[in-house]
Structure 1
Amino acid sequence: MEIDRVVGGVRHPWATSDEILEAMNTFEVRQDDIWVITFPKAGTTWMSEVISCLYHGGDFDKADEIVLNQRFMFLDLARPGADPPHILAAKRPSPRFLKTHLPSHQMAKEINTKKPKIVYVGRNAKDNAVSLFHFHQSLKALRSYDSWEDYYNAFIDGDVHGGSWFDMNLYWWNRRNDDNVLFVKYEDMKKDLGSVVTQVSEFFGWPIPDGKLEEIVQHCSFSSMKENPKTNYKVLSTKSVSSNSSFQFMRKGEVGDWKNYFTVSQSEAVDKLYDTKMKGSDLTFEYEL
């Protein structure tokens, strides 16, 4: 059996079942939901931990009481032996913490009418591509590629998990001025996490207790989260990981790692495609810090 298929122009793993995609047409969104939306491997886990810590007022023991992927209901994937995520989410008390990588035309329809709080994290296309490449090569549930070049061509065509990076980022950039949407760049989190933490706290209206900002920044630093088993999912079943993979859910988190993979011509092609796809938009990303 194929491990994935294309639905509505987007490549999805089989764990993102037709039932899940169809359920998004009628999924009941609540106004007090808290959503993290990203293209795959663009900072979902990082932002989710920031929100968890802010929600609990900097009480890290409370924030990390359970594994992060259980705190935030991932609406895209069904777990073996469990009810589908939309059924489980419907049973959760408010406020619900939800996350998704679904593109705009496949996400929950009521998200546009109920207008819950949404944090979207965007990451530069080149680093995002490299991070997702390693994810594809590591997990059995995702299509693997014979080479970086094969994957690069698929990414350019929008034929990878998540679909088109360009379409998704442009959609949410165009919604950045909606009252219920906060657009955050991964590179800004790397440069000045404290400013982003403050921005997120103000967006939700959750004051940061005196003296807690620096502690939250330290706790939510990439290096700290990588060593935290509640955020860097080292407990993932070996059945999920390819036998030849040294899998790490949080791998490097660097800005500029793309230089170790992209050829000059590939980099220039992405720049040219970006100019075409994002024409008329003032959305820009940093490719090195």
Structure 2
Amino acid sequence: MEKSRKKFTDLLDKATVEANSMRHEELMFSYNGTPYPTTLCSPETFRALESFEARSDDIILAGYPKSGTNWLTQILTDLVTVSQKKTQDREGIANYELEEFPYLEVGDAEKYERMTKLPSPRFMITHLRPENLPKSIFKNKVKILLLIRNPKDVATSFYHFSKGLASFPSYETWDDFFTDFMSKRTVWGCYFEYLSQWNKYADEENVMAITYEELKEVRLSITTNTLYFKEHVFLNQFTIIFMKSGVSDWKNLFSEDQNEKMDKAFEEYVGGTKLGKKLKYEVYCKA
């Protein structure tokens, strides 16, 4: 796994070098109306992604940026690797770790051809909304773990993250970032639209939604024979206990007016929906 982590840091280092020579407005490009980071994604990659052929035993972790995907990815990747050791030889596992960066939309346009040679089950991560994913993912009923987080903490974490990452446009003030976040001008687009679109799939049997807050507060039982993500995530009879932390940090930044604007947007997009209720907005997003 250390080699896989090195691949991750090498990609970010390369993106940082490229970003340092770009003007602020060059750090993002738009594809189908959504902004993406220029140094991590490309129009060529998105066009190639459209014809990606998913397998029914693929596993996808879907989550908007700063919803906790990096954290949960490490856990799931380790568990998938353990599962593979029962059915694959060690050389096959090593190749899986080294071959491709797991974020589906990040990398060169040729990665999807190389991914056809990866052993099953393939583990992938994406920040994309469902309508921007390859049709084969839903046609073949790929198992999707949807990770969501209360929007105020998402915005807060995203702001701090963008200040320290050259590949993303940075902001001098929280107010500037909040304006762009609410105006759909941050990379990977509007979080509320993300929640609204994924809510259409919330009842699908191959989709399980979990929240960042749940992972921090409750025991998550895991086993991986079925990998049907409903009441539990099944991945090899592991039990993970997550400690409560990193929740409600938004209270340190939001003004009264900003609270009101986000409360209104939440109600407009997902208030009363299955995902909206699951986020427990009254618990985590009210002062």
The aligned counterpart of 1:44 is 69
Say whether 1:7 aligns with 2:31: yes
TM-score of the pair, normalised by structure 1: 0.74
Say whether 1:190 aligns with 2:216: yes
What does the per-residue CA deviation read over 1:223-272, in whole Å, with 9 as the maximum and x for residues that have no partner?
A: 9xxxxxxxxxxxxxxxxxxxxxxxxxxxxx61100011111110111001
The aligned counterpart of 1:226 is none
How many Å apart are 1:51 and its aligned residue? 2.2
Distance in 1 of aligned mates of 2:221 and 2:188: 25
- Cα distance change of structure 1 residues 8 and 122 upon mapping to structure 2, 3 Å threshold: same
User: Among 16, 26, 29, which residue is 2:51 paired with?
Assistant: 26
What does the per-residue CA deviation read over 1:89-145, in whole Å, with 9 as the maximum and x for residues that have no partner?
A: 233122111111122232222112111111010001000011111221111111111
Distance in 2 of aligned mates of 1:270 and 1:23: 35
Distance in 2 of aligned mates of 1:128 and 1:191: 17
How many Å apart are 1:176 and its aligned residue? 1.8
**In 2, are the aligned partners of 1:35 and 1:98 still within 8 Å (CA)?**
yes
Matches within 5 A, 1:129-144: 129-144=155-170
- Cα distance change of structure 1 residues 89 and 71 upon mapping to structure 2, 3 Å threshold: closer
Distance in 2 of aligned mates of 1:69 and 1:45: 17
User: Among 126, 142, 154, which residue is 1:116 paired with?
Assistant: 142
**In 2, are the aligned partners of 1:35 and 1:116 still within 8 Å (CA)?**
yes
Say whether 1:255 aligns with 2:247: yes
Task: Report how many aligned residue pairs link the two structures.
Answer: 245
**In 1, are the aligned partners of 2:223 and 2:235 still within 8 Å (CA)?**
no
**In 1, are the aligned partners of 2:159 and 2:174 still within 8 Å (CA)?**
yes
**In 2, are the aligned partners of 1:75 and 1:85 still within 8 Å (CA)?**
no
Distance in 1 of aligned mates of 2:285 and 2:270: 20
Amino acid in structure 1 at the alignment position of 2:55: R
Amino acid in structure 2 at the alignment position of 1:175: Y
Distance in 2 of aligned mates of 1:4 and 1:273: 24
**In 1, are the aligned partners of 2:202 and 2:209 still within 8 Å (CA)?**
yes
How many Å apart are 1:44 and its aligned residue? 0.9
Amino acid in structure 2 at the alignment position of 1:256: S
User: Among 171, 195, 210, which residue is 1:169 paired with?
Assistant: 195
How many Å apart are 1:170 and its aligned residue? 2.1
**In 2, are the aligned partners of 1:125 and 1:165 still within 8 Å (CA)?**
yes
What does the per-residue CA deviation read over 1:159-216, in whole Å, with 9 as the maximum and x for residues that have no partner?
A: 1111010111122233122111111111111111x236479966364441xxx52xx4
How many Å apart are 1:49 and its aligned residue? 2.8
Aligned CA RMSD, in angstroms, stands at 3.2
Q: Structure 1: where are the runs of 5+ without partners?
A: 224-252
**In 1, are the aligned partners of 2:29 and 2:36 still within 8 Å (CA)?**
yes
The aligned counterpart of 1:274 is 266
- Cα distance change of structure 1 residues 155 and 202 upon mapping to structure 2, 3 Å threshold: same
Amino acid in structure 1 at the alignment position of 2:163: Q
The aligned counterpart of 1:104 is 130
Q: Structure 2: where are the runs of 5+ without partners?
A: 1-21
Distance in 1 of aligned mates of 2:209 and 2:260: 26
Amino acid in structure 2 at the alignment position of 1:255: V
- Say which SS state the counterpart of residue 91 (structure 1) adopts: coil
Distance in 2 of aligned mates of 1:255 and 1:66: 37
The aligned counterpart of 1:147 is 173
Distance in 2 of aligned mates of 1:267 and 1:69: 43
Amino acid in structure 1 at the alignment position of 2:29: R
- Say which SS state the counterpart of residue 42 (structure 1) adopts: coil
The aligned counterpart of 1:264 is 256
Distance in 1 of aligned mates of 2:98 and 2:68: 13
- Cα distance change of structure 1 residues 177 and 83 upon mapping to structure 2, 3 Å threshold: closer
The aligned counterpart of 1:178 is 204
Distance in 2 of aligned mates of 1:222 and 1:75: 29
- Cα distance change of structure 1 residues 222 and 276 upon mapping to structure 2, 3 Å threshold: same
The aligned counterpart of 1:35 is 60
TM-score of the pair, normalised by structure 2: 0.75
- Say which SS state the counterpart of residue 144 (structure 1) adopts: coil
